[in-house]
Amino acid sequence: MPADHGLLAAGIGVLVCGPAAYLLGPWLMRRIPEPVLDEGDTKIPYASLAGPRAAYWCGGVAALAGGLLGWLLGMDVVLPAWLVLAVSGAVLGYIDARTRFLPSVIIWPTYLVVGVALLAAALVSGEWDALWRAALAGAIGFGVFYLLWFAFPRGVGFGDVRLSGLLGLALGWLGWGEFASGLYGGFFLGAVVGIVLIAARVMTRKQMVPFGPFMLVGALAGVVLGPPLAGLYAG
């Protein structure tokens, strides 16, 4: 069942997120500075990704995510924050899948825009408890992934650490059920897929699985699964 005004919000999500990611994705890829690589490491240059394929993928994924988020959240005050995340996430997911890097020059501004959107949502709705929970969840997500990166740097990149705080911030506003299922479910999904690929000899143990796309899919799944999980816990 859609949320209140879910059809309207879904239409807004598709119309806003799809064109925004279609235009913004290639534009950003042409301008992202290349990271300093360790000796022996290689990567696809960001600028070489900025073609029609990237535009279609980013636009299509963002439109799908924006429509689903609108359907699930309706005209909720938090919807703008999630639509921003849908656009940024579509671009980040595509870049990570192709390069195994999550550019901080995209992640940090998204923190700012999502944070401002959540603050505006709290001002409009008076849901200051949700804003506090979002900040706390973002800090917890960042902290846990930081420990994972510190303990296993070949399996978790620091871009994943940055992304975990951003996703925790948005998921935390919705509730602890959404936070737990969305953030850590995505990590679990990426770990399972990585183990399967290693077992199938598609990749080696020394190769790093791009966790970003799995974390983003997990966050979207958390919006779907969080409420029933919270209800199950409360019951």
pLDDT tens digits along 187-199: 788 777 767 766 6
Kindly report the CA angle at 57 between 55 and 58, in degrees rounded to 5? 65
- DSSP assignment of 17-70 equals HHHHHHHHHHHHHTTPPPPPPPTT-----GGGG-SHHHHHHHHHHHHHHHHHHH
In this structure, which amino acid lies at residue 137? Answer: A
Over residues 64-96, the pLDDT tens digits come to: 999 999 999 999 999 999 999 999 999 999 999
Comparing C-alpha atoms, which of 230, 228, 139, 212 is closest to residue 176? 230
* CA separation for the pair 49, 32 (Å, rounded): 11
| Residue keyed to tokens 């199938």 | 200
Q: What is the mean pLDDT of residues 31-44?
A: 84
pLDDT class for 135, splitting at 50, 70, 90? very high
* CA separation for the pair 208, 216 (Å, rounded): 17
Over residues 91-133, the pLDDT tens digits come to: 999 999 999 899 999 999 999 999 999 999 999 999 999 999 9
